Amino acid sequence: MRIADMNWMQVEAYLRNDDRCVVPLGSVEQHGYQSLAVDLLHAERISVEAAAPLGVPVFPVIGYGFTPAFTAYPGTVTLRSATLAAVITDILDSLVRTGFRRIVIVNGHGGNTPAAAAALEWMDRDRRATVKFHNWWNAPRTWEKVLEIDPVAGHASWMESFAWTRINDAPVPETQKPIADVARLRTLNPAQLRDALGDGNFGGAYQKPDEIMMALWAVAVAETRDIIATNWPTGTA
């Protein structure tokens, strides 16, 4: 259930019996021919679908993340790493103050490592709560499914192209793009990276049939649901 569909009294009642919640985290950045909001759309959707059968509330997605490498692509928005860390810390402080003690951050963007580090630091400071930081797209079972479908996959390729992230009036190439040299890309400034990368796809086909994509999505939702439901530590350090 979405926090947007609850009032404060319902949250208070929920916390009498459960202390879990989910916080989706995304980014606004180039994804080739796909929406600039791919990462936030995925993070929020998978959080809601995974948490719904468990009755665990999902907070609104944190839409902006850390993505300075893509700033030469129009529409990309990046936070400073310190800003993202501060946002995560403030949100966790608010959640634990409310009474949440088991918190899952479902992350949709690989560059959000400052948020993961901030969550770890926060748990050292406030040991009343546990935070799981879940990268949904490369979690073990989901990534295994990606490799089963097509091991040639990268940022802005078929593996991120679902019906809800495609742009209807932006037809995609039917070719398969060679995998980029990611190590080299990490040495480039944003303008150089755009020149080297072109359309933004890091490599692989641009799109797969919907039935294949929904089979991948089902694995990702189930794996995320298990993260929310199981393997929580007991007690405090």
Domain boundaries along the sequence of the chain:
3-229
Exposure string (b/e) for 31-54, b if CB count within 10 Å is 16 or more? bbbbbbbbbbbbbbbbbbbbbeee
- What confidence tens digit (pLDDT) does each residue in 98-147 have? 999 999 999 999 999 999 999 999 999 989 999 999 999 999 999 999 99
The whole model's pTM is what? 0.96
Give the Cα separation of 75 and 47 in Å (integer): 25
- What confidence tens digit (pLDDT) does each residue in 81-92 have? 999 999 999 999
Give the Cα separation of 17 and 73 in Å (integer): 46
Query: Which residue's structure tokens are 């929580």?
Result: 232
User: How many other C-beta atoms lie within 10 A of the C-beta of residue 84?
Assistant: 25
CATH of region 3-229: 3.40.50.10310
